[in-house]
Amino acid sequence: MSSNNEGDLVQGAKLFVRIAQNGHSYELDCNESTPVEVVQQLIASVAGINSNDQLLLSLEWKLEPPRQLSAYNLPSDNGEVFVYNKARLQANSPPPEPELVDILEIVEPLLPSSSHNPHLLDDASDPALKALPSYERQFRYHFHRGRAIYSCTVVKYENCQRLWREQGVQERALEIARANLEQFYRMVHQNFVDFMKFYSQQHRIHSDLLMNFGRDIDKLRSCKLHPALQTANRKCLLDFVKEENLRKWMENCSSSHRQFETKVSQFKQMYSDVKRKVDDLLSSKTSLHTTNLELMIKEHQRYINEQKSIMQSLSFFCTPSIPLLTDLVS
């Protein structure tokens, strides 16, 4: 784990919070002395995730409520806190609500009509001149319709950019969660190895004691006392203890030994299942392909720019102060 560096802390900086389940981002006003529980309360107010359901990760750190942000080198210029909803991490939990996206409908402009937009040439005697106002109205109609389509396109493009950024947040959240899981699993694995090593040693010792109990009793019985130490009730070392009590203790120990063997066997099976699931999860390179999306979005940016350039050029001819037929009318 990396050590804290107080020089990297930003006094009164923004804390960047990323919500894993939907990719939403928030900037919270915090400083290094802000307790984690206060951050959780702020997250609950803006993201709607109860404090008790929040799992907060920043790189390899798990943020604990009693501590302050300075313990995790936060806030900092490049520090992010990812928030995971524990309720969503359960195996059978429902997925989060679908993301709401406002899709604007194209507002069609009114069809051109001489009654709504009269022109001086509407009553011209020359048929060619009389047709020109109709052409201008058609031009303005198609221009306004094109502008409506362009405006909706820009909104859709901005929505795509936002959703792409949110998918990028979710992809980073997966990476942080995977790294945290891998680190935690290494600790669990080491504890399991240490436990099994100690258990194997103790199990061998206890098994030997139980297996050799009868032999040890016979040895105590065969070990006679010095004649000067013998009494009517004490002829050998076994007479100094109650054999019946020893045998009861042995039976109890043997029963506990078998029960503990069963528990350890169940524990090994449980650990084996966990190991298999973790290995499967760590080996699966889940990717949201945000890089491909970024390239696709940037590729379509040029079409937006082309539309914008065309609309700007055409808008010159639709400016009320510069009618198309000014020269003809004059």
Cβ pair 138, 318 in contact under 8 A? no
Long-range CB pairs of 277-280 (<8 Å, 24+ gap) are 278/181, 278/185
Domain 6-89, CATH = 3.10.20.90
Q: What tokens appear for 146 in the block?
A: 């094109």
CA distance 255 to 274: 29
Q: What tokens appear for 69 in the block?
A: 């942000």
Per the listing, tokens 């009318």 go with 329
Q: Report the range of poorest mean pLDDT among 3-12, 190-199, 233-242.
A: 3-12
At residue 53, does pLDDT exceed 90? yes
* Separation of CA 76 from chain center: 20
Task: Check residue 2 and give its pLDDT.
Answer: 33
Task: Check residue 321 and give its pLDDT.
Answer: 44
Q: Write out the DSSP string of 208-239.
A: HHHHTHHHHHHHHHHSBPPTTT--SS-SBGGG
Condensed to tens digits (0 to 9), the pLDDT of residues 58-77 reads 988 999 998 999 999 999 88
Query: How large is the average pLDDT for residues 114-125?
Result: 61
Query: How large is the average pLDDT for residues 305-313?
Result: 88
pLDDT band at 104 (very low <50, low <70, confident <90, very high): confident
Condensed to tens digits (0 to 9), the pLDDT of residues 178-214 reads 999 999 999 999 999 999 999 999 999 999 999 999 9
